[in-house]
């Protein structure tokens, strides 16, 4: 039973960590090499990794999606999708897909004359499942090492850790001061009731044995 408990806890925190890693913003410093638009099928489980900002889009089995192609300073490639998040999750309230696409096109550069940009995004990149992170904003930077500090994610995780730690501390105190005494009292009451029943049963048995002897 202990192993099942730890397995459930490990599974829960692993899924929660994955959820945060997917949803929280991250930064890449890249050189934009191209932008394009492509028709994407949305007829399998990977649909959850594509935005559904409108009720109409939820009924579509495929749609046109804008992409931004980039190359990192180490030469590795990365492709971002450019979709509105609307009022959905994560709550980035992105409605400027067209503007961002225009900015990306304006910042396209070559290897000989690079223009480095910091792309703020959320999500994951999976070649096998054709999953792409969603670009939120693009900011020009001086070089491939000029990566912005991720203030939002850092402050969020510190705040969340503090609130969780405080909540856990208060729960431990509540369990120690309120629940444990209440459970102990209930256990004592059950024990006392069991002892009383046992004494009555013994007295009845003694009376029954006496009655049988007299007969």
Q: Is residue 184 situated within a structural domain?
A: yes
Task: Indicate the helix (H) or strand (E) that contains 77.
Answer: strand 77-82
pLDDT of residue 193: 54
Percent of the chain's residues with pLDDT above 90: 55
Does 65 share its domain with 168? no
Percent of the chain exceeding pLDDT 70 equals 77
Determine if residue 74 is left, alpha or beta; phi over 0 gives left, psi from -120 to 50 gives alpha, anything else beta: alpha
pLDDT at res. 46: 80
Confidence (pLDDT) at 102: 96
Provide the residue range defining the domain that includes 130: 25-148
34 with 132, same domain? Answer: yes
pLDDT (tens digit, 9 = 90+) per residue, 189-207? 555 555 556 666 666 555 5
Residue 4 domain-assigned (yes or no): no
For residues 134 and 51, the answer to whether their CB atoms sit within 8 Å is yes
pLDDT surpassing 90 at residue 169? no
Q: Which is more confident, 88 or 31?
A: 31
Q: Per-residue pLDDT tens for 7-49? A: 888 999 999 999 999 999 999 999 999 999 998 887 777 888 8
Strands 116-122 and 77-82: unpaired
Q: Of 148, 168, 200, which one is at a domain's C-terminal end?
A: 148
DSSP state of 74: T
Q: Return the pLDDT at 200.
A: 60
Instruction: Please tell me the total count of domains within the chain.
Output: 2
Q: What is the pLDDT of residue 55?
A: 47
Same domain, 41 and 128: yes
Average pLDDT over residues 154-162: 95
Instruction: Please determine, for residue 188, whether its predicted confidence score (pLDDT) is greater than 60.
Output: no
Are 156 and 188 members of one domain? yes
CATH number at residue 118: 2.40.50
């Amino acid at each position: 039973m202990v192993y099942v408990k730890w397995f459930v806890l490990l599974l829960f925190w692993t899924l929660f960590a994955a959820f945060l890693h997917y949803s929280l913003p991250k930064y890449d410093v890249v050189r934009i090499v191209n932008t394009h638009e492509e028709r994407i099928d949305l007829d399998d489980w990977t649909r959850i990794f594509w935005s559904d900002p409108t009720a109409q889009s939820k009924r579509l089995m495929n749609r046109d999606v804008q992409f931004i192609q980039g190359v990192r300073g180490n030469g590795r490639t990365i492709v971002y999708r450019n979709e509105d998040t609307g009022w959905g999750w994560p709550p980035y309230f992105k409605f400027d897909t067209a503007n961002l696409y225009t900015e990306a096109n304006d910042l396209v550069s070559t290897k000989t004359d690079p223009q480095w940009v910091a792309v703020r995004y959320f999500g994951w990149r999976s070649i096998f499942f054709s999953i792409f992170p969603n670009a939120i904003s693009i900011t020009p930077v001086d070089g491939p090492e000029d990566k912005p500090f991720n203030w939002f994610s850092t402050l969020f995780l510190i705040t969340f850790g503090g609130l969780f730690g405080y909540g856990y501390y208060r729960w431990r105190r509540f369990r120690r001061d309120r629940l444990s005494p209440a459970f102990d009292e209930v256990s004592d009451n059950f024990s006392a009731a069991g002892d009383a029943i046992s004494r009555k049963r013994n007295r009845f048995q003694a009376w029954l044995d006496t009655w049988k002897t007299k007969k």
